[in-house]
Amino acid sequence: MFHGLSLEQAPPYTVPIKFYLSGAFYLILLSIAIIIYGFSVSSRFDYEVIALTHLLTLGFITHVMFGSLFQMLPVMLGTPYANVVKNATIIHIALNAGILTFVVGFFTNTALLLYFAGTLLMGTFFYFALLSFKTILLSQEKNTLVQNFAASFAGLFFAALFGFLALLGHFGFVDTLRYGNIHIAFMLFGWVFLLIVSVSYKIIPMFFVAKEFPMFVQKRLYPVQLALLLLFAYAQLQEKTLLLSVTQLLLCTSVILFALLSILILQKRKRARKDVSIELWYFAMGNAILAALLYAGANVNLSFAIGFFALFGAVYALINAMLYKIIPFLTWFHLSSNMVFDAEMGNVIPKKKMSIQINLYYLSYFFFLCTALSPAFIIVSATLFLFSSLMLLLNIFKAKKYYTEYMKKKVVFE
């Protein structure tokens, strides 16, 4: 009756940690690249800006999302990823090869590298999306949560496709601007937003002992969002200006409503104690609302400011918050699953080190805002973010070291 069901679906500890460490490494590269190129860029369409943006989106955000999904999706679905270690390794290698060639390709404007990177990245995203779809299909659970995850993978699929088409446009094959806008819409409002939404439905009640999100939101938001994205793509390709503005406005409304709802639910949480994760969550939601308001009233082409608030203010902050919830728990959980009961979650990454890293991020964010007064602040901002990223990397390393040391104790004990 229940053939194939297993609750022991979590992959080895090294799988998610490898992705998290790689993600933090790209933040360091990003900071250094901003210090080098920050002064010389002027528009979103500069090749340097495209490279910098993708160091954050592909280098950090994608790594953490993939790593977390390898860990979380099987637990939520009751079905493991097929050959998880092998597949995670293939995806990790392909993703890194793709990111590095993509970024170098844009910094050096080398067509061959960009074709190679585009093909590799699209292949990697398709492979991951299909692998995840397969996991979902094999699951006995086909509940709302699973449908939300499936919708975010659909977003990833289209985002990768339109991203590749936009890349072709850089060599004159298609209109880059239109395909680029669709790529960004599917990436932000589809893949990233829907994944954050799906994870929030479980993470917020679980980590903060808060109320569940209303069921009509869980059931209705993702189909509405996907339908709006398809309409957006149609309007963009067919140059239907009015429809484009309406869909843009509605997509932003979804983000704002979700952000407000999550703040409301968090404020009414039962586990009242405040920690750095909650503050970061509020900060991220504030930035998401700001970015959505600016985008709702703006021309369809994203400006620097919108990208900054959406990616650096909202998505980065949210991921940073979740990493400090997930990594200590994962470390402790994997140790105690191995019958190592001496470890304590609170000792995995010292709270003080988390706070210092997050405060460096806040400072970096503040000085980035100051670039409106003088572009010179970009150097201060990037330098602070470099230190923040180094600390994040060290904090994740510390967790890995903690795990390794306690696992050695297990061997001695045996």
Partner 1 sequence: MTIKDFMTSKHRECDHLLTQAEDFLESGEFDEALGKYAAFKNETLLHFTMEEEYLFPMLEEKSGMGSMGPTNVMRMEHAQAKSLFEKMDEAYNAKDKERAFSLGESMNILLQQHNLKEEQMLYTMMNTALAENAEEIVQKLQDYEH
* Residues contributing to the site for partner 1 (CB under 8 A): 1-2, 5-8, 75-76, 78, 140-141, 143, 202, 205-207, 209, 270-273, 325, 329, 332-333, 336-337, 341, 344-347
Nearer to partner 1, 140 or 241 (CB): 140
| Shortest reach from residue 143's CB to partner 1, in Å | 7
Nearer to partner 1, 205 or 286 (CB): 205
| Shortest reach from residue 1's CB to partner 1, in Å | 5
Nearer to partner 1, 145 or 243 (CB): 145
| Shortest reach from residue 332's CB to partner 1, in Å | 6
* Number of residues written out for the chain: 414
Nearer to partner 1, 30 or 76 (CB): 76
- Amino acid letter, residue 201: Y
| Shortest reach from residue 84's CB to partner 1, in Å | 16
| Shortest reach from residue 337's CB to partner 1, in Å | 7
Are the beta carbons of 223 and 216 closer than 8 angstroms?
no
Nearer to partner 1, 5 or 85 (CB): 5
Give the sign of the dihedral formed by CA 46, CA 48, CA 51, CA 56.
negative
Q: Give CA–CA dist 250/243, Å, rounded.
A: 11
Query: By three-state DSSP, how is residue 139 classified?
Result: coil
| Shortest reach from residue 62's CB to partner 1, in Å | 24
Rg of the Cα atoms in the chain: 21
The contacts of residue 230 (CB under 8 Å, 6+ apart) are none
Q: Give CA–CA dist 257/80, Å, rounded.
A: 33
Element containing residue 370 per DSSP (H, E): none
Q: How many CB atoms lie within 10 A of CB 42?
A: 10
State the DSSP string of 334-367. HHHHTT--S--GGGTS-HHHHHHHHHHHHHHHHH
**Helix (H), strand (E), coil (C) string for 18-73:** HHHHHHHHHHHHHHHHHHHHHHHCCCCCCHHHHHHHHHHHHHHHHHHHHHHHHHHH
Q: Give CA–CA dist 317/291, Å, rounded.
A: 14
| Shortest reach from residue 351's CB to partner 1, in Å | 8
Nearer to partner 1, 270 or 412 (CB): 270
| Shortest reach from residue 150's CB to partner 1, in Å | 16
The contacts of residue 285 (CB under 8 Å, 6+ apart) are 259, 260, 262, 263, 314
The contacts of residue 291 (CB under 8 Å, 6+ apart) are 255, 306, 309, 310, 313, 314
Nearer to partner 1, 182 or 323 (CB): 323
| Shortest reach from residue 75's CB to partner 1, in Å | 6
Give the sign of the dihedral formed by CA 366, CA 369, CA 373, CA 377.
positive
| Shortest reach from residue 13's CB to partner 1, in Å | 15
